[in-house]
Chains A and B, each alone.
Chain A
Amino acid sequence: MLTRLRRLPARVRAIFVSRRLDDDFDEELAAHLAMAIDDLQNQGLPPEEARRIALLRLGSPASLGDRHRRERGLPVVEEIGRDVRYACRTLRRDSALTTFAVLIVGLGIGLAATVFSVVQALLLRPLPFERPDRLVWIANGDSENLSEQTAQVVNLLAMRGQSQALAGVEGYSPFYGVGDVHLTGDGGPERVTAVRVTEGFFDLLGVRPYAGRYFTADECVWNGPRVAVLSHAFWRSRFAADPNVVGRAIRLSGESATIVGVLPASFDFADTFTPGNPAEIFTPFPLSAETNRQGNMLALVGRLRPGADLAAASAEATLIGDRIQGAVGETVMNGRRNGFRPRIASLRAHVSGSYRDALLALVASVGFLVLLVCANLSNLLLSRSASRQREIAIRTALGASRPQLVRQVLVESFVLTGSGGACGLALAWIATDVLSRLTETGIPLLHDVRVDAITAGAAALAAVVTGLAVGLLPALRVSATAPNIVLQRSSRGALGGSRDRVRRAIVVVQVAVACVLLAGAGLLVRSLARLLDVDPGFAPRSVIAIRVDPGRTVARDRVPAYFDEIVQRVRAVPHVDAVGLSDALPLGNNFGWRRWSVAAAEHAQDRSRRQQPLIRVVDEGYIGAMRIPVRAGRAFTADDADPGEPVAIVNDTLARRLWPDGDAVGRAVVVSRVQRRVVGVVAGVRYFGLDRDADMELYLPMRQTRDHSVVDLVVRTTVDPDRAIPDVRAALAAAFPVLPTTRIRTMEQLVDRSVFGRRAATGLLAGFAGFGLLLAALGMYAVVSYAVSQRRQEFALRMALGASPSAIRASVLAQTIRLSFTGLAIGLPAAWLAARAARAMLFDVAPADPVTIVSVVAVLASVIVLAADIPSRRAARLDPVVALRAE
């Protein structure tokens, strides 16, 4: 065995230099013969006789050459190589079938590999941290809204101090607005997004700095030295990957700060924690009395101690939470302690767990699709093998062994699926490249989507398995028949029976699978349509939004005048219809999470009747510019100012909660110890997503409260908003050169982003379903064509005996319809089960939605009958005389 292995490299090499070795060997044999003839002649033999004897002793050069080749090379490989060449030749002759087969396998494997790459990135590949399986997310309470899962500084410290299961607890503040910070100096002013993180945050994740360092303890104190760490991408884009960036001074919102480090390229904070929102700069979040007083400011991440598991950490966290619950309201670190109900989940589950169901649904669909591809290809190869029966029989008669024939047929199907797999990988490579470049999708880890070695390996495996699956049936059939039977009999025959049963079963499966895919796609399309029909509570068309809050570039008492001027200037821009300001953009990512305690004035003392609505601080133009319907009363006016009567507007949800029995307008509410008169009731705005019902909302006039930080300007235009953007930008830039206006979005972009995931899933599934429908139709076409060609004589005979062409056609169609209905009978219940399992993906549509079912049946049945009608017409056109003569 060992000596065999020793020869392996030489034998492999011999395959590639075969011709040279042949020549060499021929020459050697010639030399041998010449020497032998010389010797024999010297012994006195005549030349002819010497030659004869020398040849006799040496052996036949042809046979020696053959044995030599087998000895030096790898005969199996060479034979397979020959089979491959032969397969390529025959497949090239059959170019229509080959192209089609490679195309469907390519599409199938390409789609499967793409879906798998996404699954790989979102669910399987470890997060780019050290021992990521040990990292946990510590939510506060059960809300699914990130902003409401945050905890207070003292509670982070309590967690850190009391937990035995966690080796460390760190946090970042999710309450940053995109473009919160003005970066000035070094090129034009730019709004950048800065995230505050605690001292050990990056170390806890196990992310090593690419350059420089992270924060030190004396930088993580209130009013400590201003320092910043850059994200890798931002370092490249803004600082041109300057290797000496560490130590450089920059100005952040007017204050000087020093760059101390750069994050590695492998860690994209936003991709993991805040998909869709870039994070460019990181600054320290001090755990001090001042930040403690700010309340629940931190999203917590922890690392399990070696030996501890998630369940133990969870149980312990609940205990710690209970202990803290008893101390709520106490004064610690100069502030009131907030409630804290820690809930521990793995970081992976927090980051991408919510995509699991949708991805599994996609995986299942793509699996069905690959099944369809296999069924189709298998069908194709079966009919091909039927037509090649005579060729095979002749080869058998000429001495081809059964294993050789099986190998030949298998090699052929491997050549098909292999080339298909290669096309598929290329397709997947392009598709993942496009996916990974998408921005503003809100889907985490999308930038990590790529065809990696595992995906490529899985695709190769899929190609091999497919090749085996589709090749095995024809291969076994090919060798099962004795050649004399086939050759004796004419090309058609009674052979079709069991083969036909297999083919019919395959078609039934195809119809069923196509039905499941179509139904799934139909339900998703209907869901998406329903969702897009949802009234978001404002009119998103022709509205653009721009961050305009001045940061620290404008003195505090000058801010109202600054806003007034912005509004005036933009209103003067051509094609601008209305302008408004808000601190909470719907479907945006600002401070729309903020809830305050509010009570009807008459029940102000009754704690149980307080409500916690979301707070929106808006100017007098906002409600009109967004076209938020005013249900009663009025919107704000410029007179709702300070000094002036404190007023508020409630949405209808809050109005119903506060005054279940009556009119809200004119009533008084208490907000932050200020009594305000309700002047209007407006419709609810779906702030967090079109599929979430509007929550309670309370609007406060911007002229009466300064309690806002992020402010967006919304501009309704009378033309396509993209056309108005340059003018708006120019107007703002002329008045406020330091105001960065790089990020201008339309509200429609925000709506699109909020439904991106659903739209992508729907689009994908619709594509799958279309492909599946095509495959099912082609499968039906192939089967019926084959059946018609096999039954030519029968039809001819029937026609000769008086059957009309239309009767022949009808009998063929009847078979088709029977097959489709069997397929539908299996497919529809399966589709219903699948839809029930994936109910979370549906919006406002029942799993057994009648509209969907009826359309699926109609589309599937008509397409399939259409596909079957072509060969059945051929049957009807048959000339009985010609067909019977052909015998």
Chain B
Amino acid sequence: MPSSKTDILQGTLDLMVLQALDALGPMHGYGLALRIEQVCAEALRINQGTIYLCLVRLVQQGWVRASWGSSENNRRAKFYAITAAGRRHLADETANWARISGAIQRLLLLGPNS
């Protein structure tokens, strides 16, 4: 079902957003976009708006909660916060990543002469 590349990219972005929300607490979309660009300029290469599509997915999956609030300089903005289910999902996925990347690392380390 997943259409390879885009889905993997989507999954990565989802994970990064969850991670950011978990680490930094509730944020608005603009803040999240800045944060992600900071960490990994590639992820939002196309444009910042992509973050909102990702947020729609996460909210619909129940991993993130959205509510309107005001920003640091008193602008009305939508704030996103990670939910308990989101934390569980993040933990699962992190473990998954660790396992897969560990496995791949080991695989790559097996040289032809070992």
The yes or no answer to B47 lying at the interface (CB within 8 A) is: yes
Chain A: how many interface residues by the 8 Å CB criterion? 29
Within 8 A of B (CB), among A43-75: 56-59, 61, 64, 67-68, 71-72
Known: A34-B75, A35-B75, A58-B47. A28 touches B52 (CB 8 A): yes
- Main SS of the interface on chain B? mixed
By the criterion CB–CB under 8 Å, are B57 and A71 in contact? Answer: yes
Q: Inside 8 A of B48's CB, which chain A residues have their CB?
A: 32, 36, 57-59
By the criterion CB–CB under 8 Å, are A68 and B56 in contact? Answer: yes
The yes or no answer to B108 lying at the interface (CB within 8 A) is: no
Within 8 A of A (CB), among B42-69: 46-50, 52-53, 56-57, 59-62
From A3-11, A225-233, A630-638, give the one contacting chain B.
A3-11
Q: Inside 8 A of B57's CB, which chain A residues have their CB?
A: 7, 71
Known: A31-B75, A35-B77, A38-B73. A10 touches B60 (CB 8 A): yes
By the criterion CB–CB under 8 Å, are B52 and A4 in contact? Answer: no
- Bound CA–CA A169/B58 (angstroms): 67
- Main SS of the interface on chain A? helix
- Point out the residue from A11, A29, A34, A56 that lies within 8 Å of B52, measured CB to CB: A29
By the criterion CB–CB under 8 Å, are A64 and B49 in contact? Answer: yes
- Bound CA–CA A29/B55 (angstroms): 13
Q: Inside 8 A of A538's CB, which chain B residues have their CB?
A: none
The yes or no answer to A1 lying at the interface (CB within 8 A) is: yes
Known: A7-B60, A59-B47, A59-B48. A35 touches B53 (CB 8 A): no
The yes or no answer to B96 lying at the interface (CB within 8 A) is: no
By the criterion CB–CB under 8 Å, are B53 and A71 in contact? Answer: yes
Q: Inside 8 A of B59's CB, which chain A residues have their CB?
A: 10
The yes or no answer to B78 lying at the interface (CB within 8 A) is: yes
By the criterion CB–CB under 8 Å, are A4 and B71 in contact? Answer: no
- Point out the residue from B28, B60, B75 that lies within 8 Å of A72, measured CB to CB: B60
Q: Inside 8 A of B73's CB, which chain A residues have their CB?
A: 35, 38
Question: Closest CB-CB distance, A76 to chain B, in whole Å?
Answer: 15
Closest to B29 in A: A32
Q: Inside 8 A of B61's CB, which chain A residues have their CB?
A: 3, 6-7
Q: Inside 8 A of B28's CB, which chain A residues have their CB?
A: 31-32, 35
By the criterion CB–CB under 8 Å, are A31 and B78 in contact? Answer: yes
Counting chain A CB atoms within 10 Å of each CB, the highest count among B59, B60, B71 belongs to B60
By the criterion CB–CB under 8 Å, are B30 and A35 in contact? Answer: yes
By the criterion CB–CB under 8 Å, are B78 and A28 in contact? Answer: yes
Q: Inside 8 A of A68's CB, which chain B residues have their CB?
A: 52-53, 56
Q: Inside 8 A of A31's CB, which chain B residues have their CB?
A: 28-30, 71, 75-78
Q: Inside 8 A of B49's CB, which chain A residues have their CB?
A: 29, 58-59, 61, 64, 67
- Bound CA–CA A58/B57 (angstroms): 18
Bits for B79-106, please: 1 = Cβ < 8 Å to A, else 0. 0000000000000000000000000000
- Bound CA–CA A90/B32 (angstroms): 47
CB pairs A–B below 8 angstroms (22 shown):
A6-B62, A7-B61, A10-B59, A11-B60, A14-B60, A25-B52, A28-B29, A28-B52, A28-B77, A31-B71, A31-B78, A32-B33, A32-B48, A32-B77, A38-B73, A56-B47, A58-B47, A59-B47, A59-B49, A61-B49, A68-B52, A72-B56
Residues of B within 8 A of A (CB): 1, 28-30, 33, 46-50, 52-53, 56-57, 59-62, 71, 73, 75-78
A24-B78, A31-B78 known, 17 other contacts, Cβ within 8 Å: A6-B60, A7-B60, A25-B52, A28-B52, A28-B78, A29-B49, A29-B52, A31-B29, A31-B77, A32-B29, A32-B77, A35-B28, A38-B73, A58-B48, A64-B53, A67-B53, A68-B52
Query: Which 10 pairs from chain A and chain B are nearest by CB?
Result: A59-B47, A59-B49, A10-B60, A64-B49, A7-B60, A35-B30, A31-B77, A32-B30, A71-B53, A72-B56
